[in-house]
Chain A
Amino acid sequence: MHGSAEFVKGKNYTASELMAITTCKEFRDWEVAFVGIGIPLVAGILAKRLHAPNLSIVYESGSIGPEKFRVDFNVGDSSAADGALCLTSEWRVFGDLQGGYYDIGVLGGAQIDRYGNLNTTAIFGGGDYRRPKVRLPGSGGGNDIGSSVGRVVIMMRLEKHRFVPRVDYITTPGYLDGSPGARERAGLLGGGPVAVVTSKGVFRFHPETREMYLHTIYPGVEAEEIRQSVGWDLKIAGDLQVAPDPSEAELAALRAADPANLILGGAGARERLSGLDEFVELTLKHAKR
């Protein structure tokens, strides 16, 4: 998913920053994490710099446990290999994923349904799979992560056209039709989604019905506002939590992890850079070595 540079009303942080900081808390120290690029990756880097210094990040390109000196813009950027514990092949890391070695995966998506099924392939609109309204990138490694990793955290901006009763195309399986044992029957090895971190709050999944419910709201957000942004009759936790504002230390660590703001800030941030020299300078200045 892509960033935006606008501050949340009345706050000193953007929605993308709050999502990254919230997601980072899902990682535990010593875990092995398979993350997608963009904000999910920044959340992983942040976790390493805050509470989980021994977190190992795995990239599908074949890098296991790199130091995170620099932010990556693609899964195969040379930066993804910086100081890695193991540099190997793509088929080998997918084998290790299937082998049950990876604890947590973080994914973005364009559409999600109440059972956590994710679409990153195509928005059909008036069309169909062959001629969709919007063609998206496709699975990449998303389906593989969602199929086999220990637990999945999903990051998505909360918008009604994204939180839909049925996704146009299930790229990555969540709990499928929500029936008991649906994942096991299909032959899936991984545990499935545990959280959906959005721009307004965090959803989790009911242990029996497998349905997504509202677990945590961000400061200044009303639960009703969230209900209006979801395409089904959203259930809300009896003990709904309110997340704290991120601390100055968290925000500083996050901004140092993406020093040119190119992931969290998107296209606008690119235009604000004077040129490549400034990018090189910022990258070297904030490289944590």
Chain B
Amino acid sequence: MSDRGKANKLMSLQEAVSTYIKDGCSITFGGFIGRDCLAAVHEIIRQGIKDLVVIDDSKTDVMDLLVGAGCVGRWEGAYLGYGSIGLANNVRRAVEQGIPRPIDLEDWSNAAVSMRFLAGGLNLPFMATRSMLGSDIIKYNSRIKVMEDPYNGTPVALVPAARPDVAVIHVQRADAMGNAQVFGFTGNDGNKARAAKHTIITCEEIIPTEEVRRGGNLTLIPFYCVDAVVHVPYGCYPQSCYGYYAYDVLFCGEYHEMSKTREGFLKWLDRYVYGCRDHLEYCSRVGWDRLKSLTYLERQFNRV
């Protein structure tokens, strides 16, 4: 924790990942199938980190890639699909066939996961919700406790606080201290950063602290929650980043086709992850013209 007071937390993505993300650690990722941490995920895969316990709400590419690359041992969360395109092929292979390795799944609902991170962020042991009552989510998840509320006697479901070792969160703007500003909706990111023991912020732009002060209400995550700040433009691609670039549905469609077979997925991984030294090389491989088109499209609707 001694690093937390530092005025300058800027570091490379390689350094941030190797410093804070270890084999077997528990981790959560910011974004909500939009503003996802794809650059960080690629780096985790390149570093060969194993046995991650991912605690999260809803994920598409982030989890499908990590599971397919064999980085995940356990998932506690609500949604593992591929959006309107289909099911998550690597997740299916891991759960149904144990390829490339079996993963342990624990199902929750999105509201339940939200309450778990709220409890974590508030430093409370649990939170109550009226979701999941009467469903089989409770039947198969012994950590959800249904009790009568002690005041009125109605049933509520209790969910334990989530306190992951690490949160990785991509934002639009941050300063070197780690004040992280988010434009657009915020998912559970404010609570994830507060609940995690360490938080890595990746961002589209680094801004001076004076600029943060001009719009302090945009700061979702204050510096004291943050351990590392990494400048990664297009760090969400192929997912969207509000005000910066739109979702690339065609690239994701192609990924979905490729990942239908293990061989196809491995080829994709070689081309876009192992075959790229860093995120800049990935962007070059995708093509800067393509990225610029997505920025052009997004800026017809949303500007930061």
Contacts and interface: CB of A to CB of B under 8 A. Distances in A.
A285 to B, nearest CB: 11
Given A74-B239, A263-B84, 4 more contacts: A97-B111, A135-B91, A143-B132, A186-B133
A208 interface: no
Interface in A28-73: 37-38, 59-63, 69-70, 72-73
A267 B260 CA distance: 13
Contacts of A98: 111, 129-131
A220 interface: no
Interface in B82-99: 83-88, 91-92, 95-96
A76 B34 contact: yes
A266 B132 CA distance: 31
Nearest to B58: A140
Contact of A187 (B31, B36, B133, B252): B133
Contact of A75 (B32, B131, B290): B32
A84 to B, nearest CB: 8
Given A78-B241, A81-B302, A147-B133, A275 B250 contact: yes
Given A98-B131, A147-B133, A78 B240 contact: yes
A188 B242 contact: no
Question: Interface residues of A: mostly helix, strand, loop or mixed?
Answer: loop
Interface residues of B, number: 81
B125 to A, nearest CB: 17
Interface in A169-196: 169-173, 176, 182-183, 186-189
Interface stretch (A125-133, A155-163, A232-240): A125-133
A249 interface: no
Contacts of B240: 74, 76-79
B131 A144 contact: yes
A132 B93 CA distance: 11
A42 B300 CA distance: 21
Contacts of A276: 248, 250, 290, 293-294
B301 A136 contact: no
A80 interface: yes
Contact of A61 (B32, B81, B105): B32
Contact of B133 (A74, A136, A173): A173
Interface residues of A, number: 76
A287 interface: yes
A138 interface: yes
B302 A171 contact: no
A284 interface: yes
Given A88-B186, A139-B110, A2 B301 contact: no
Contacts of A81: 184-185, 242, 302
A198 interface: no
A92 to B, nearest CB: 9
A6 to B, nearest CB: 17
A179 B270 CA distance: 55
Contact of B57 (A63, A90, A136, A283): A90
A132 B95 CA distance: 8
B150 interface: no
Interface stretch (B37-45, B46-54, B113-121): B113-121
Given A73-B83, A139-B108, A171 B96 contact: no
B111 A69 contact: no
A82 B302 contact: yes
Contacts of A216: none
Contacts of B24: none
A22 interface: no
B2 to A, nearest CB: 31
Interface stretch (B12-20, B134-142, B198-206): B134-142
